[in-house]
Structures are given as structure tokens and as C-alpha cells.
């Protein structure tokens, strides 16, 4: 008899938990698509109105179009599309970081010019 334990087949409990969360996000996305559509047009500016309209509430369809338009990896596109559900002002993260950095630079410049004029 072998003393080695047999590896379980199929998915682990953790993987099943992740799948359940992903399924929940996709279902919510479908339910809320009518309100998300306008936000998707704003956030994913590289997509045409026709692109967004053809999604018809299918999370994977929007993710695929984001991959194609922005050149993102699947995982990154998934995150960006899921972000639509969580924040009304979501923008692709590179653009958001860039704007945040520009605001910080302006604040520093204003602070420096304010202290120089005193």
C-alpha cells in the first residue's frame, strides 16, 4: 500500500470561492448593464458607441473589447471592467494615476510659488 496521499481532483475550495465571486460580479454586471452602459462609454473612450451597444450586458464581451482596444492583458481588462461596478468615476488605472500625479505636481508648484512670494 502506498503512504502517499492522493491529490484531490477538481478545484480547491479557494478556487471555487473565487469562481463564485467572479460569477456574482458577472451576474451583477448583467443586471446593471443599462445603468453601466453610459459609464462604460465614458471610461473606455477608445470603444465606439457601437462596441458598447453590442456588449448587451455580457461582461466577457466588454472585457474582450477592452483587451483589443487598450492592449491590456485579460486579467487587467477583467479588473478594469469590474471596476465599473464599484466606482462611478472609474477610469483605466494608467490614466487615473497620470491625472493624480499631475494634480500632485500642481500642488507642489503652487506651494513652492506661495512660499517664494512670502
Report yes or no on 39 lying in a domain.
Answer: yes
Instruction: Look at 31-40, 44-53, 56-65, 105-114 and tell me which has the smallest mean pLDDT.
Output: 105-114
Q: What is the DSSP string of the chain?
A: ---SPPPPPS--HHHHHHHHHHHHHHHHHHHTHHHHHHHHHHH-TTS-HHHHHHHTT-HHHHHHHHHHHH---HHHHHHHHHHHHH-TT---HHHHHHHHHHHHHHHHHHHHHHHHT-
Average pLDDT, the chain: 80
What is the domain-level CATH number for residue 22? 1.10.1470
Quick one: which of 37, 46, 95 has its CA closest to 70? Answer: 46
**In 3D, which of 91, 84, 75 has the Cα closest to residue 30?**
84
Q: What is the tally of structural domains in the chain?
A: 1
Q: Which domain holds residue 67?
A: 15-90
In a domain, 113, yes or no: no
Residue-wise pLDDT tens digits, 53-79: 999 999 999 999 999 999 999 999 999
pLDDT digits (tens, 9 = 90+) for 98-111: 666 677 777 777 77
Amino acid at each position: 500500500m502506498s503512504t502517499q496521499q492522493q491529490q484531490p481532483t477538481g478545484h480547491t475550495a479557494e478556487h471555487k470561492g473565487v469562481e463564485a465571486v467572479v460569477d456574482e460580479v458577472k451576474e451583477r454586471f448583467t443586471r446593471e448593464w443599462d445603468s453601466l452602459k453610459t459609464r462604460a462609454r465614458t471610461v473606455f473612450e477608445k470603444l465606439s458607441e457601437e462596441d458598447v451597444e453590442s456588449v448587451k450586458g455580457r461582461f466577457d464581451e466588454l472585457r474582450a473589447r477592452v483587451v483589443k482596444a487598450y492592449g491590456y492583458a485579460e486579467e487587467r481588462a477583467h479588473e478594469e471592467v469590474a471596476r465599473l461596478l464599484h466606482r462611478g468615476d472609474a477610469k483605466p488605472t494608467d490614466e487615473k494615476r497620470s491625472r493624480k500625479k499631475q494634480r500632485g505636481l500642481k500642488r507642489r508648484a503652487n506651494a513652492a510659488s506661495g512660499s517664494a512670494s512670502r
